[in-house]
Amino acid sequence: MPNMNEVVGSHDLLMITLDTLRYDAAIMEEANCPNLCGGGGWEKRHTPGSFTYAAHHAFFGGFLPTPATTDKSTHVRLFHSKNTGLNTHPDTWLFDAPDIVSGLANEGYRTICIGGVVFFTKKVPLARVLPGYFQQSYWRMTFGVTNPRSTEHQVNHALQLLEGIAQDERLFLFMNVSAIHGPNHYFVPGAKKDSVETQRAALRYVDGELGRLFTAMRKRKRPVFCMAFSDHGTAYGEDGYEGHRLAHEVVMNVPYREFFL
């Protein structure tokens, strides 16, 4: 991992949650995801939450998915709350705020959320909590899980916003990608229900759309540090389980990558 004390302040930050992407589906599509996996493959990690709401509170609290190994001692966190009394690594960025989003805002970052799944719709009070971490947050019907071109719309919106942001302004852009979440069967013509196969097709679609976002971010003045990972997987009938918000390994194992754009 990089020294986050050299990253925060000098880099733009991009955090992308690939909502509901299973680790096994991500691994099988590495070769077909030149944007997300151009510089390397996915790391197997454990999510701190089995569904969107729980996982994102943890992420924004600085608790990103942890390596899926028994060696906990060598894992260095990117972010950690300041003054907890716990020992922290010199490369970890410490924030003196309730969460990393407001911590980054305190460092002069403009914080923007492009929402995707239902917890980001801002339609009911509960769905305003996660977007509420950010100074600016956006959700449109076209960003949601039922739109087969959701990522295209989300990326288009981000590109529009980027045009209005000064090059020297520090930017923390968060995007919750909804396309891989169910329903995703429409990414395979003729498929009647969601499956690992249709989720893989959704991921290929998402990767293709993210290319435009990466290109636009690369054109900005500051270098960009990107974190891309899933918030949880989902079960397609394994051991009788369906969906997420349950602690099966297909839910708790998630793909994780961090890289400089």
Interface with Zn ion by CB under 5 A: which residues? 19, 52, 231
> What residue number has its CB nearest to Zn ion?
52
Closest contact distance (angstroms) between CB of 24 and Zn ion is 17
| Dist. CA 23–CA 42, nearest whole Å | 8
In order of 66, 112, 160, 183, 235, the CA distances from 153 in angstroms are 31, 16, 11, 17, 27
Q: Do 225 and 2 contact (CB within 8 A), yes or no?
A: yes
Assigned token pair, 79: 């972010």
Closest contact distance (angstroms) between CB of 5 and Zn ion is 30
Assigned token pair, 22: 């299973």
Question: Which CB sits closer to Zn ion, 111 or 230?
Answer: 230
Question: Which CB sits closer to Zn ion, 33 or 254?
Answer: 254
Question: Which CB sits closer to Zn ion, 170 or 232?
Answer: 232
Using alpha carbons, select from 139, 51, 68, 56 the residue that is nearest to residue 100: 56
Closest contact distance (angstroms) between CB of 170 and Zn ion is 27
DSSP-derived letter for residue 248 is -
Closest contact distance (angstroms) between CB of 215 and Zn ion is 26
Question: Which CB sits closer to Zn ion, 209 or 231?
Answer: 231
